Every structure is written in structure tokens, then in C-alpha cells.
Amino acid sequence: MIKRYLLLFSLLICLWCNAQPAESNASSLFYALRTKVLTVHDYVADVKMKINVAYMRLPDLKGKLYFKYPDKIKFERNGGISILPKKNMNLAMSNLIPQGKVMVIDAGYDTLGGKKVHVIKVVPEDEGNIVLSKLWIDEQALVALRTETTSKDGTAKMELTYGMYISQALPDKVVLYLDVKDYKLPKGVTMDYDDNETNSAIKSSGTKKSSKGTIQITYLNYSINTGLNDDFFNSNTK
Amino acid sequence: MTQLLRIELYKIFSRPRTYISFAIIAAISGVIQLAMLSDGGSFVNFALQGVNEQFDIQGKVLNGYLVTYITLQSLLIHIPLLVALVGGDAFAGEASMGTLRLLLTKPISRTQLVLAKFSGSLVYTLLLLIWLAIVSLGVSLLLFGTGDLINLKSDAFVLIMHNDILWRYAAAFAFAGIAMMSIASLSILLSIFADNAIGPIISTMGIVIVLTILSNLELPLFTLIKPYLLTTHVIGWKGFFDDPVPYHAIGNSALVLIIYTIVFLAASIIFFNRKDIKS
Amino acid sequence: MAPVIETKNLNKSFKDFKAVSDLSFSVNKGDVYGFLGQNGAGKSTTIRMLAGLIFPDNGHVFIKGQELHNNTRHLLQHIGAIIERPDMYNYLSGWDNLKIFASLSNKKIPNTRLHEVLELTGIADRRKDKVKAYSQGMKQRLGIAIAMVHDPDLLILDEPTNGLDPQGIAEMRKLILHLSHDLGKTILISSHLLYEIEHVANRMIIIHKGKKMVEGIVGDLLHPGDTLIQVSMLPDTDVAGKLAGSAWQVYVHEHTSSAITFKMDPAQVPQLNQWLVQNGMQVLEIKTKHLLEEYFISLTNDAAAKD
């Protein structure tokens, strides 16, 4: 038993030693990105959201997305109904990048859309929801083009495109990939009208037990650091 | 014929019983509105359980449009009963009252009498639906305001924007008119065979209930006959609350309902013209 | 001229029950035609066939010479009928009921006519009351008002005195005679009571178990000479001897030691009584009964015995 721990320990040490030269590079890249991201304490953005989940049929949602560091987020549609993924799949960049003490692991380079990106893995040392974050970072612009966050609830993947607000690391467009659990209500309850058209539409889209979905958010403009109040996020307009 | 129809309408609307139906609709609608006012939040949370696991749904989910949808959903069983109340009474009621024989010793055509009674029931049915629209949609919008509509289907979550809803209700009520027309013709057909009104009213209800259950059973045998069942199509109004609207299926359902109506009506005319009036 | 009603070999069965069997009769213009039969004899079924409510299995009904089945709508314009109970829309007033049925008669009927028939039937001042508040007699009158409002040539009245008190029966009789004598209507009136028919009808039919038993002119059928005079007395051993020598012998129908039945005109009863007393017979009771009545009652007893 002890032998086994020793072996594991030495293996980890070795890994850490081997990674050491590149590691400091990756670490500094991560901290630089984090600092940049954290300059935005809050923002209000006009957004257009396209939810693409097999069982959900809804039009594009236009509204205002409010964010406040570290994890407050709200989507408002002027009295309309808004839909956001649960908190732990948060959309805010700063929330995908773990806070506090972290361990950064260099995972080499990759190419995204013809661009060379630095891939790093971040493991938070504090007890939190996020277990592992993988970031694809454009070193020149100092922005993450892709993130993959593993939390206790599963893995969320995000792809980001930048434009006007690249200096604040705020994307123009975010595509969030998520695993969607199956949804079903008993027919006896809903008393569905069976029309073959929508049924076949679902069949052709190949919906099964659990499937992939995407949420596409297009940011039209940002107002940054307007000093949003915490209370604003708590007001529930149900 | 117009004279016969005028008389039928006069008879229908001079009876207190007729207005009970209107009161029942107002009562059911009112009870649902009251329940939603007092405890609508928990109802919505309960209904959205499945979706809430993964998504945060914020905003005015409980609004007039949703309450109306819930009301229509639960009135699915009741409206045919109210239609049957008048349709089932059309001939059987007169038979049990004894007025049918007096009526038929007058120089009127039996075919025209069937058509007049059908038209009379239809007018009553349409007024009932208009009344339903007023007390469910009108009052709910006053009480709860407008908003986006979430429609939960067994396999889908549909969200419809608030400015895209009203026409759907108009279409849905129009479709319900066609659906109830088929129920009215069924109850009139049954009414011809009976000498008291309870029989055809109960039979119409029984048929609607049994067929509704068959329509909702997911058994291979029933899936086979399902496209031919009246009740499968009666709820076609719901199609207007889907996205995209399955126009083809709705059109098909409307056609099936119209065919049913014509068949029931033709059978009514044939049987009534041959019937010995013994009541 | 064709009879107002003529039936030819009417037959109607309900499942295994033969309600009307090979029934032929005719009602002429101006007749008050008595349609007599026990309950269940087939009167109602026949009358419903005359009014187009029930279709015969075979045989024909002709109204004014035209086949009813092919011309129902046209011919019903000439008929006013109350069939069985006078049932109306209880939740409407008498006036509304009359108005509704008048409007279905294929011709424009002015309100003055409605008032006229209500006056005639004597319910004018109750016209605004709901029918559910009417007595049976008032419903019967309203029924007649409805039957005659469109001024038909032929009235079919099924048991019109049902549920009426004696005064009501007398008034109904008066009304029928008025309709016949003064307005020249042809009337078919059904009853299960002979005495109701004999005072109003000029011709009549008796049916039993769906079959015609007797049809003819009331005066002939109820000829006075066909009256049975039943004498009850204290027993007398020499009844036969006393009768044998007398003029009354020819009228004797049957006799025992305490009863003699004669068949003769009841006008002679006083003389008969005198003779009985003179010959020492102690009379207890003299009853007169028409032969037809006797016959009709025997049909009843038949039916009763069968039940």
C-alpha cells in the first residue's frame, strides 16, 4: 500500500520536474489572461441567443445580458421569458477561468481556425465546482478561443470569437456546447396532439437519450464596468 | 329551413339549462385562474422540473397566455360534455317531452329538421367557444397580463414569443369549432336513437372518454387505429402552439373531423327519415 | 269524391308484436269518425300511421286520395292532430307554443287567428303562463288550439277527453260538435270509451288486437232495437209460463227464474214494467244496455282475462 503511494508520488514529482521549463511559461500566460479578464468587473450587453437543443423549440432570444464578477449573471428580455444554462455552466469568461490558487499544466500547442494556440490545463487547488479547465489561448491577443471546463456536473465546451472588444477579452460570439439530458413527460399528462411532421423532424435530428446541444450567443455591444448592484441579480421577476 | 332554425335557437336559448353550460365554463375557467393566482408559481416549478435541471428559466412564465392554455387543456373533456348536453337533447329531449310527435305532425321535412337541429347546436357550440375565449383568454390576460408562452409537450419544450401568440389562439378556437361540430353531430346521431336525453349525452361522453384513452395509449394495436379516431384529431388545436406549426397535420385533422361530421349527419338524416316515432 | 282518410290493408309489427293487422277503413268528408278500441288495441299505432309518424310495414294510407307516404309534407298541411298526451314545451308559454307550431304550418298565420283559436278553446286569458303551470285539461285545449290553428280540413284527436273532469268532457264534446257542424271539419276521434263516441260520432269503428271488429254508422250500430233490457226480480217458478202467453215473448233474449233479458227498444220499458208487476213478478231492478256496449265490454274482459 505504502509502496503504491510512493510510486504515485514519485511519478507526479517526475512529471512536475519534466514539465517545469514550459510550466512557468504556461503559468504566466494563464495569470496574464486572468488579470486581463478580471479588469471587467461587470458588464451589460445586448445579445442575441440561439438555443439549439433537440427537445427545445424556440425562436432566437434577444435581450440584455448582465454580468457581475465573480459569478452573477442575468438574462433579461424586457418581461419576456429568458432561458440560461444552469449556473455551473456559466457563460462568463471569468467564471470559466478558475480563481484563487491553481496548478497550471502546459499541454502544448494546437491550431484553431488556422491560428496557433497555446493549450493549458488549469486545476484549482481550492475546493470548488470546477475540477479542471482546459484553455486554448491566442498568445498574441491574449484571449481564450476555446475552453473546456470539467465541473462536478459534467463538461462544458465553449468556443469564442472576438472583435471590437478583444482588448477587454470580451467575445463577440460564444458557442457553448453542452450535454443535454433526455426530456420526457408522460403523454397522459400532456395529452399531446400527434402530428407526424414534428415527430419526424425530431427523428431526423436523431435525438436519443442524451445528446449534444449548443447555445450561441452573439454580443451586439457591451457597456463595461457600470457598477451593477448585487441586488439587481437577486430580484426575481417570476 | 330558416324558420325551423329560428325555432330551434329560440327553444335552445329559452331554456335555463342552456345557460348552465355557460356558467360551468365560467366556473371552471375561474377556478383555474384562482388556483393559478394563489399557487401558480409552484405549479409552474413543478411542470418545469425536467427543464429546470439544466436550465434557468426566468421571467413571467405564469401569464395570461399560459393560464389560458392550461384552461383549454383541462376543458378538453368538459366542452364535449357541454356540446353533448344540447346535441344529445336535440331529438331525445323532444322525444321524452313528447313534443317530437307534435312537431312531426306539422308539414316539415325530417331532413330539414335534422339540419336545423344540427345548425342550432352548432350556433350554441360556437357561442360556447366564444364565451370560453372571453372568460379564459380575456379574463386571464386581464388578471395575469401577456407574456411568452411555454408549451410543454411530452417530448418538447416550446417557447412562443408574446407577440406571436394571439393569432394562434384565434386559429385554435376556430379549429375547436370544427372539432366540436363533429362532437355535436355525433351526439345528434345518438340522440335520434334515444327516447330520453340522458342516454345520448352519457354515450357521447363515454365515446369521447374511451377514444381519448385509446388515443393516448402507446400500444401497437392502438397506434394502428389512432389516425382514424375522432379524439386524435379533436385536440388538433394544440398544433397551433407548436413551432413550427404542423399545418399539414392540422389540415388533415380538420379534414378528418369534417368527414366525421358529414358521416354522422348523413347517418342522422337517413335514420331519422326511417324512424317510427313511438314516443 | 275520394274519402278524406282511406286505409288499405295496413299492417304494422313491432318486433314480434303485431300491432295492426290488415286494417282497412275510410273516413268521409264531414264525418265525425269514432275510433274505438281498448288500450293496446292498436289505435295509437294506427293514428300515428295516419299522421306520418309511423311507417306501415305494408298497406297504404290515402289522405284526400293521395298516398300519404309519398306526399307527407304536402298532406300534413291539411291535417291537425293531437296524438296521445298533449305534450308541449313546458318551459315556454302557451302563446309561444302556439306561435311555434303555427309557424311550421307552411302558411302565414296572423296573430288574430292565434287569438281566435285560444278564445275558441277557452284558454285565452292563460296564454302568457308557462305550460308547466297548466292543468291537464288546459294542455288538452292548447293541443286542440295547436291542431286547428292552421285551419286544416281534417282533425285527428287521440283520446281528447283524457284527464278532463266531467265538465271538461262536456265542453270538449261541445267543441267537437261545433268544429263539425259549424265549421265543417272532418274529425277522427279515438277513445276507449263507447259512450264518449256515441254522442259525437256519426260513424265509427271498433278495433281489437289490431283488427277491425265492427265499422259502420253509429245510428245503425247503436240501433235502439238492439238494446238489452235486463230485469232482476225475486225468484218466480213460473217465469216461462207467464212469458209464454204474452206479447213480450218475442223480445226475450234469455231467462232464468230470477232474471229475464229482453232485446228491444228501451222506449217500451214502462209498459214492460207494468206487465211484469201485473203478472205478480217482484221486480228488483231494470237495467238497459246496448248490445254493442255489451259486445265492447266482452272485448275488454277478453283482454283483461288475457292479462
Which residue of B41, B53, B59 is in closest CB contact with A81? B59
Along chain A (238 residues), what's the average pLDDT of each consecutive run of 10 residues?
Answer: 60 49 73 86 90 86 84 80 71 69 88 88 81 89 88 81 87 86 72 61 46 87 83 62
> What pLDDT score does A20 carry?
46
Q: A83, B55: Cβ pair inside 8 Å?
A: yes
Confidence of residue B23 (pLDDT cuts 50, 70, 90): very high
Q: Is residue A76 part of a domain?
A: yes
* Total number of domains in chain B: 1
C241 domain residue, yes or no: yes
The reply to whether C305 falls in a domain is no
ipTM above 0.85, yes or no: no
Nearest to C204, CA basis, from C292, C297, C298, C79: C292
Per-residue pLDDT band for B187 (boundaries 50, 70, 90) equals very high
C71-82 b/e (C-beta count within 10 Å ≥ 16 → b): ebeebbbbbbbb
Same domain, C228 and C178: no
Domain of A74 in residue numbering reads as 19-181+211-230
Residue A193 lies in a domain: no
Q: Which domain holds residue B189?
A: 2-274
How far apart are the C-alpha atoms of C205 and C23, rounded to whole Å? 11
**Does the residue C30 lie in any domain?**
yes
- Average of pLDDT values for B31-59? 85
**Residue-level pLDDT at A201:** 42
Mark which of C196, C221, C246 sits at the end of a domain: C221
Domain end, chosen from C192, C221, C250, is at C221
Place of cell 407548436: B242
Report the residue of chain B nearest C150, measured CA to CA: B106
Contact C101 B277 (CB under 8 A): no
Report C:200-259 residues touching B (Cβ under 8 A).
Answer: none
Average the pLDDT over B189-213 and give the result.
Answer: 89
Q: Is C213 exposed, middle or buried (0-12, 13-18, 19+ CB in 10 A)?
A: middle
- Select the residue of B4, B97, B101 nearest C53 (Cβ to Cβ): B101
Q: Which three-class secondary structure state does DSSP give residue A66?
A: strand
What Cα–Cα distance (Å) separates residue B270 from each residue in A148, B192, C49, C144, C291? 72, 10, 19, 31, 49
Residues spanned by the domain of C157? 5-221
Compute the count of residue pairs across chains B and C with CB atoms less than 8 Å apart.
Answer: 79
> Which of B44, B53, B65, B153 minimizes the C-alpha distance to A58?
B153
Are C179 and C286 in the same domain? no
The Cα of A147 is separated from the nearest Cα of chain B by a number of Å equal to 20
Chains B and A touch (3+ CB pairs under 8 A): yes
In a domain, C61, yes or no: yes
The reply to whether C301 falls in a domain is no
**Cell numbers 409552474: residue:** B44
**Residues C213 and C229 grouped into a single domain:** no
Residue C12's domain is classified under what CATH number? 3.40.50.300
pLDDT at A25: 82
The predicted pLDDT at position A207 comes to 42
What CATH number has the domain bearing residue A29?
A: 2.50.20.10
Mutate to test the interface with B, among C71, C104, C140 (most CBs of B within 10 A): C104
Q: Does A234 touch chain B (CB under 8 A)?
A: no
Domains identified in chain A, total number: 1
Establish if A78 belongs to a structural domain. yes
Same-domain status, C234 and C216: no
Q: Which of B158, B179, B175 is nearest to B247 (CA)?
A: B175
Verify that C93 and C44 share a domain, yes or no. yes
Question: Does residue B189 lie in a domain region?
Answer: yes
Per-chain mean pLDDT for chain B: 89
Name subunits touching B (3+ CB pairs < 8 A).
Answer: A, C
- Residue B40 has what pLDDT? 85
Q: What is the mean pLDDT of residues B87-108?
A: 91
Chain A residue closest in CA terms to B48: A185
Chain segment C93-130, per-residue pLDDT in tens? 999 999 999 999 888 999 999 999 999 888 899 999 99
Q: Give yes or no: residues C234 and C202 share one domain.
A: no
**C17 lies within 8 A of chain B by CB:** no
What pLDDT score was predicted for residue A200? 42
- The answer to whether residue A153 is domain-embedded is yes
Contact B105 C92 (CB under 8 A): no
- CATH number (domain holding residue C266): 3.30.70
Is B175 inside a domain boundary? Answer: yes
A-C interface (Cβ pairs under 8 Å ≥ 3): no
In a domain, B279, yes or no: no
Contact with chain B for residue C82, Cβ under 8 A? yes
Chain B nearest-CA residue for C72: B107
Residues C107 and C204 occupy one common structural domain: yes
C289 and C173 inside one domain: no
Query: Could you tell me which chains touch chain A, where touching means 3 or more CB pairs under 8 A?
Result: B
For residue B130, the model assigns a pLDDT of: 94
Q: Quick one: C131 and C199 in the same domain?
A: yes
Rounded CA-CA distance A119/A128 in Å is 22
Domain count, chain C: 2
C302 is a domain residue: no
Q: How far is B4 from chain C (nearest CA, A)?
A: 7
Asked if residue A12 belongs to a domain, the reply is: no
User: Do C204 and C288 belong together in one domain?
Assistant: no
| pLDDT band at residue B197 using 50, 70 and 90 as cut-offs | confident
pTM comes to 0.83
pLDDT less than 70: residues of chain C: 300, 302-307
- A35 in a domain, yes or no? yes
**Unique residue bearing C-alpha cell 272532418:** C186
Whether residues C214 and C252 share a domain: the answer is no
Same domain, C126 and C261: no
Q: Is A82 helix (H, G, I), strand (E, B) or coil?
A: strand
Residues 6+ apart with CB under 8 A from C64: C2, C4, C75, C78, C153
> Nearest-CA distance from A167 to chain B in Å?
30
